[in-house]
A and B are shown apart, each in its own frame.
Chain A
């Protein structure tokens, strides 16, 4: 299988008995990421639909990309390039922040770049979930906090979490748990495959309450 350009080696076995996998601490660069995305094969969404069932992705992420239970992220309507990057991150171990990530690594290990692109393409074709309407908007979303160098979430993820700006993912309509988990892992640095550490920077100085309120805002919950 052709491994895409990523200047790292996957070291060590994935998690056994709860110990964290040894994720190589190598960062994407703008160049390496661009190369990876440029060499992505053209995705076939119909084939992706079959793979979604065949590889049991649907079991956690839903037949139509909406996660059946709040523990797992939805993937419907996600940016094609972002999904592809996520799968690459799992495959290489660049994302290995916890045992859930390691489940992904085990399954993605069986996928070729074509498979991954087909899946990404299928998910992108699905209707994205949206955040529940009528919620008051936390200040961090629209204004960020210049004192803490936190950019407004909306400037990349959008006011309604639709993403797509500068290649950032859609986050709307995920469960609050999933969003909270992401922010917490970025904050601790255990999740570290974000280009230029943008999310790690954004999350670094958030309080626990702010993480809750941001997660609630962008989630599918009222």
Chain B
């Protein structure tokens, strides 16, 4: 079903592109993509697969992509930093994408030209901006990029901070405390901070059994909360708070404090300031001293999104769900974490999916056709331990002009067998490989 809006969109596109008969599949259209992460790369690949005659250029400031999904597995030594690296060879050689290592610094939206730091100019018919996130280090008193890079790493954009955090955890004194400062909503990778806490707790059970993991939180819940807390309860001696037990299967009662502790907002978990010199964090409920502090600060759309006028007051980018075209700047589309497209989450999976929707939509716009009704999923596996997995499952479609979580008959997924958790953990590994292949290779 195409809406009236689609029809108008089509008319606009036909007007912009010149009325082209659909049989004349001429080489029309030049697309420039800013950002070679999951969103940008998947977009470029699928665009070239579907319409190879369209010229696609990615402008990416890093010569190599370091994947954030699964990066917590560096912290427990399951993988190396180099395992996070993905190169652009396939995009260049297999799909014919022009990948330029440069930084986009200027946009002339009327003339449709992007300028880069090296002084190059890239003209476009459609621009796709997929810049990920900007970490707002300074929003937390006492925290800064400098502190993150030297003393209390974030690693929410992976790189040297991830390696630093890994080393700090490895070198932590016996009986030390690893503290994660969780972020406020919305943020990249909703289960991420809690999965990280779990994986480090698992590692510490073996290598630092008298140590402790604390997650202090400005929130009272998170995606996969029940699954994760059940895993913590079974694996790390965590006691689920009384007011969160409803709907949960039989829980173990632990008489002693476990390896992992989660301080919710209601219990005073909201972080107020970071004191990396004295290695402590002040929260609503008091001071938490720690040996290793991992801060996930508030965040917003990647810097270039704001610079190009794509963000609104929230700091994220509003878009048309049919095409992911910015509602603020014409002919510019936004993908991935930067986007405000609730209920689509800020996940790699969603970025990959949005990229495909946008690619197909833009091809239709170029060819003067109506845009098809989009469809999305978000199916991610997450871990509470190396052998204990579960998943996030969302299926989305358009309802009344808005993206909606499609209702479906409920089914019990919380209390499953050990085998299922084990398999989910296997699938999590498999998914990271196939997902990377689908996005980049």
Q: Do chains A and B touch in the complex (CB under 8 A)?
A: yes
Which A residues have a C-beta under 8 Å from some C-beta of B? 13, 15-18, 54-56, 99, 102-103, 106-107, 109-110
The distance in angstroms between the C-alpha atoms of A55 and B426, with both chains bound, is 14
Determine if B214 is an interface residue (Cβ-Cβ < 8 Å).
Answer: no
Determine if B174 is an interface residue (Cβ-Cβ < 8 Å).
Answer: no
Kindly name the residue among B79, B83, B419 whose own CB sees the greatest number of chain A CB atoms within 10 A: B419
Q: Which residues of A sit under 8 angstroms from B430, Cβ to Cβ? A: 99, 103
Q: Which residues of B sit under 8 angstroms from A56, Cβ to Cβ? A: 417, 419-420, 423
- Write the nearest CB–CB distance from B140 to chain A, whole angstroms: 33
Which of B73, B417, B425 is the one whose CB lies under 8 Å from A106? B425
User: Would you call A18 and B433 a contact (CB within 8 A)?
Assistant: yes
User: Would you call A16 and B426 a contact (CB within 8 A)?
Assistant: no
The distance in angstroms between the C-alpha atoms of A103 and B433, with both chains bound, is 14
Name which residue of chain A comes closest to B419, CB basis: A55
Q: Which residues of B sit under 8 angstroms from A18, Cβ to Cβ? A: 433
Determine if B422 is an interface residue (Cβ-Cβ < 8 Å).
Answer: yes
Which of B420, B422, B429 is the one whose CB lies under 8 Å from A16? B429
Name which residue of chain B comes closest to A102, CB basis: B426
User: Would you call B432 and A17 a contact (CB within 8 A)?
Assistant: yes
Residue pairs across A and B with Cβ atoms less than 8 A apart, 15 shown, are A13-B78, A16-B73, A16-B78, A16-B79, A17-B70, A17-B429, A18-B433, A54-B419, A56-B419, A102-B426, A103-B426, A106-B423, A106-B426, A107-B426, A110-B418
The distance in angstroms between the C-alpha atoms of A18 and B422, with both chains bound, is 18
The distance in angstroms between the C-alpha atoms of A99 and B430, with both chains bound, is 8
10 closest pairs, A vs B, by CB? A18-B433, A55-B419, A106-B426, A56-B419, A103-B426, A17-B83, A16-B429, A106-B422, A17-B433, A16-B79
- Write the nearest CB–CB distance from B390 to chain A, whole angstroms: 15
Name which residue of chain B comes closest to A56, CB basis: B419
The secondary-structure label for the interface of chain B is helix
Name which residue of chain B comes closest to A105, CB basis: B426
Q: Which residues of B sit under 8 angstroms from A54, Cβ to Cβ? A: 417, 419
- Write the nearest CB–CB distance from A61 to chain B, whole angstroms: 13
Determine if B284 is an interface residue (Cβ-Cβ < 8 Å).
Answer: no
Which residues 405-431 of B have a CB within 8 angstroms of A? 417-420, 422-423, 425-426, 429-430
Name which residue of chain A comes closest to B420, CB basis: A56
Q: Which residues of A sit under 8 angstroms from B425, Cβ to Cβ? A: 106
User: Would you call B78 and A103 a contact (CB within 8 A)?
Assistant: no
- Write the nearest CB–CB distance from B381 to chain A, whole angstroms: 13
Q: Which residues of A sit under 8 angstroms from B373, Cβ to Cβ? A: none
Name which residue of chain A comes closest to B417, CB basis: A54
The distance in angstroms between the C-alpha atoms of A99 and B429, with both chains bound, is 10
The distance in angstroms between the C-alpha atoms of A54 and B78, with both chains bound, is 29
- Write the nearest CB–CB distance from B226 to chain A, whole angstroms: 22
User: Would you call B429 and A15 a contact (CB within 8 A)?
Assistant: yes
User: Would you call A110 and B422 a contact (CB within 8 A)?
Assistant: yes
Determine if B387 is an interface residue (Cβ-Cβ < 8 Å).
Answer: yes
- Write the nearest CB–CB distance from B269 to chain A, whole angstroms: 32
Name which residue of chain A comes closest to B416, CB basis: A56
Q: Which residues of B sit under 8 angstroms from A106, Cβ to Cβ? A: 387, 422-423, 425-426
User: Would you call A110 and B419 a contact (CB within 8 A)?
Assistant: yes
Q: Which residues of B sit under 8 angstroms from A110, Cβ to Cβ? A: 418-419, 422
The distance in angstroms between the C-alpha atoms of A77 and B234, with both chains bound, is 38
User: Would you call B423 and A103 a contact (CB within 8 A)?
Assistant: yes
The distance in angstroms between the C-alpha atoms of A109 and B422, with both chains bound, is 10
The distance in angstroms between the C-alpha atoms of A102 and B433, with both chains bound, is 14
Q: Which residues of A sit under 8 angstroms from B423, Cβ to Cβ? A: 56, 103, 106-107
- Bitwise, B218-234 to A at CB < 8 A (1) or not (0) is 00000000000000000
Q: Which residues of A sit under 8 angstroms from B432, Cβ to Cβ? A: 17
- Write the nearest CB–CB distance from B435 to chain A, whole angstroms: 11
Name which residue of chain B comes closest to A104, CB basis: B426
Q: Which residues of B sit under 8 angstroms from A15, Cβ to Cβ? A: 429
Name which residue of chain B comes closest to A109, CB basis: B422
- Write the nearest CB–CB distance from B302 to chain A, whole angstroms: 26
Q: Which residues of A sit under 8 angstroms from B429, Cβ to Cβ? A: 15-17
The distance in angstroms between the C-alpha atoms of A131 and B433, with both chains bound, is 35
- Bitwise, B54-73 to A at CB < 8 A (1) or not (0) is 00000000000000001001
- Write the nearest CB–CB distance from B425 to chain A, whole angstroms: 7
Please give 17 more A-B residue pairs, beta carbons under 8 A apart, in addition to A16-B79, A103-B423: A15-B429, A16-B73, A16-B83, A16-B429, A17-B70, A17-B432, A17-B433, A55-B417, A56-B417, A99-B433, A102-B426, A106-B422, A106-B426, A107-B422, A107-B423, A110-B418, A110-B422
- Write the nearest CB–CB distance from B420 to chain A, whole angstroms: 7
Name which residue of chain A comes closest to B418, CB basis: A110
Q: Which residues of A sit under 8 angstroms from B419, Cβ to Cβ? A: 54-56, 107, 110
Q: Which residues of A sit under 8 angstroms from B387, Cβ to Cβ? A: 106
Q: Which residues of A sit under 8 angstroms from B73, Cβ to Cβ? A: 16
Q: Which residues of B sit under 8 angstroms from A55, Cβ to Cβ? A: 417, 419
- Write the nearest CB–CB distance from A79 to chain B, whole angstroms: 25
The distance in angstroms between the C-alpha atoms of A109 and B426, with both chains bound, is 12
- Write the nearest CB–CB distance from B63 to chain A, whole angstroms: 20
The distance in angstroms between the C-alpha atoms of A15 and B431, with both chains bound, is 12
The distance in angstroms between the C-alpha atoms of A131 and B277, with both chains bound, is 72
Q: Which residues of B sit under 8 angstroms from A109, Cβ to Cβ? A: 422
Q: Which residues of B sit under 8 angstroms from A102, Cβ to Cβ? A: 426
Name which residue of chain A comes closest to B428, CB basis: A16
- Write the nearest CB–CB distance from A95 to chain B, whole angstroms: 15
Q: Which residues of B sit under 8 angstroms from A13, Cβ to Cβ? A: 78
Name which residue of chain A comes closest to B432, CB basis: A17
Name which residue of chain B comes closest to A13, CB basis: B78
- Write the nearest CB–CB distance from A49 to chain B, whole angstroms: 16
Name which residue of chain A comes closest to B437, CB basis: A18
Q: Which residues of B sit under 8 angstroms from A17, Cβ to Cβ? A: 70, 79, 83, 429, 432-433
The distance in angstroms between the C-alpha atoms of A107 and B418, with both chains bound, is 10
The distance in angstroms between the C-alpha atoms of A15 and B432, with both chains bound, is 12
The distance in angstroms between the C-alpha atoms of A108 and B26, with both chains bound, is 56
